[in-house]
Chain A
């Protein structure tokens, strides 16, 4: 609770969290006073006007409606990928770091292999090989599959250094089991760290999703911020000067990711007492 109050004192956290809530509010509350409709087609490529605040795309669909839906799916993919990557990475990292021995070596080897493979290439190859049924959830799983190494490596390093602390030795000598030591002695240390990793991975999940959607490997059945960019690109919005087809989506992605990074850095200042002023 005190940590939370400390966070509220940090201006960068306030900026980050308010930007984040602003985007959430856009996705959740905007439909209440703006008519959201992604089915009705009208005049293609209408510039911003009274009816369509941000104009229409090449099919004549209202841009704001697309942005609201797209933001929802991007956040969904980002959070799902972030949660999965963090959980898998943390579990593997804690296990490898605490257990040591050949288990540690095998997991480290796998992690290192995953680290050296260029993430984006794997992402593109997997998405491209799945012709049918590329849903948002599947995209999130693919992103998580290529990004868990981050948290695994960091958590492994932390827990393997924690393992040799005196209080772990005392807990062991007092007869506590391994699971108990991991849950009560190691995880509390890692909690702030894991939380920060989660935020970064969510942010990078959103970026990854936009990237693969933009080159045309995104979900086939829904709108995401990346697919908006993809459609704008394919229909030559850029050369036509139809800025409303791609600028709002780009700004939205940048704002969310910026908000996440700002939240992350401000948390570092609060969780790590050495950085406190």
Chain B
């Protein structure tokens, strides 16, 4: 049984005037134990909305339209916010946020921030017991527990702070961890150590599988088993890392690869190509393929026929003409 399943999930934002803006439409994927799924896409394509949907965290104006999210076979949709808070967040699905600089409250010590989290989920645990557990966990994840726990966030470096955030988020051994651009605010060498730590936790079985969200495709190549490329709220292509990076079939993925810079020999001669145009405005109804207006390979009927997922060369592609 897959550990995490998203079944045809659609989400929308409700505006003040009652209009629905579909931010995510028809996203489906499933993950096995130990798997890392990378999700890539440009800014504003619905990655972070999808994250909130995957956690069942519907803070207004975000609302579910249809579809289901299952963790270990159990649906987390249609529950009360209180139930989600107590039993899903941090227990089943945890999240590692993006900003290492701002994710810890500067007025409180690391151990208090972590203790809050445990106290919100477990009744009747005393402070001493919590601090003992924290110490144990922080040593297990390879941090200098004594000095880090009693420090204020401002006393720590960005890398250490982000590692603290990861340590706190995974305290309750969640089944799935969603990392929403966990390293985008860090320099390259710190990035590496943070990623190493995340995979160390995965190896130690502290969590069983991970969704890694980023807009840096080269990074995904090193961390993900499978990659989904998102465009305007839909998955354009979903396949193994090898397939998506080295043999992309969807025109958007191909264009994205063309726009990518990587530090490899021979790159100096190659000019990266930008994708012309801008993503469609989701507030207006869209007919046909969402990428058609920018697609270099668009055919006349692309703008009128709605694209469905096809299996091409062993991966899912949302394009009628991909081969």
Contact = CB atoms under 8 A, between A and B. Distances in A.
Interface of A: 101, 165-167, 169-177, 180, 184-185, 188-189
Contacts of B106: 167
Contacts of A185: 105, 108
14 contacts: A165-B102, A166-B97, A166-B103, A167-B106, A170-B103, A171-B105, A175-B117, A176-B85, A176-B117, A180-B116, A184-B108, A185-B105, A188-B105, A188-B108
Contact of B90 (A101, A166, A174, A177): A174
A81 B57 CA distance: 42
Interface in B48-107: 55, 57, 59-60, 85-86, 89-91, 94-95, 97-99, 102-107
B57 A172 contact: yes
B100 to A, nearest CB: 9
Given A180-B116, A184-B108, A188-B108, A173 B57 contact: yes
Nearest to A100: B60
A32 B55 CA distance: 68
Contacts of B57: 172-173
Nearest to A185: B105
A177 B80 CA distance: 13
Contact of A169 (B97, B121, B168): B97
Interface in B149-171: 165, 168-169
A169 B165 CA distance: 12
B105 A167 contact: yes
B117 A101 contact: no
A173 B108 contact: no
Contacts of A176: 85, 116-117, 120
Closest 9 CB pairs of A and B: A166-B102, A175-B89, A188-B107, A166-B99, A167-B105, A175-B90, A174-B117, A173-B95, A170-B103
Given A101-B60, A166-B97, A173 B55 contact: yes
A171 B59 CA distance: 14
A174 B104 contact: no
Nearest to B52: A173
B169 A174 contact: yes
Contacts of B85: 175-177
A188 B109 CA distance: 12
Contacts of B103: 166-167, 169-170
Given A169-B97, A170-B97, A175-B120, 8 more contacts: A166-B97, A166-B103, A167-B106, A171-B116, A173-B57, A173-B95, A174-B90, A175-B89
Contacts of A172: 57, 59
Given A101-B60, A180-B116, A180-B120, A174 B105 contact: no
A167 B60 contact: no
Contacts of A166: 97-99, 102-103
A173 B120 contact: no
A175 B97 contact: no
Contacts of B59: 172
Contacts of B89: 173-175
Contacts of B105: 167, 171, 184-185, 188
A249 B108 CA distance: 45
A188 B105 CA distance: 9
Contacts of A188: 105, 107-108
Nearest to B153: A167
Contacts of B86: 175
Contacts of A174: 89-90, 94, 116-117, 120, 168-169
Contacts of A101: 60
Interface centre among A101, A173, A188 (most CB of B within 10 A): A173
Contacts of B95: 170, 173
A177 B81 CA distance: 10
Contacts of A170: 95, 97, 103-104, 165, 169
Contacts of A165: 102
Contacts of B55: 173
B168 A167 contact: no
Nearest to B91: A175
A166 B102 CA distance: 5
Contacts of B98: 166
A166 B103 CA distance: 5
Contacts of A180: 116, 120
Given A166-B103, A173-B97, A175-B121, A184 B116 contact: yes
A235 B81 CA distance: 68
Contacts of A169: 97, 103
Interface string B200-223: 000000000000000000000000
A171 B116 CA distance: 9
Nearest to B82: A177
A188 B107 CA distance: 7
A171 to B, nearest CB: 7
A177 B120 contact: yes
Contacts of A173: 55, 57, 89-90, 94-95, 97, 169
A167 B113 CA distance: 10
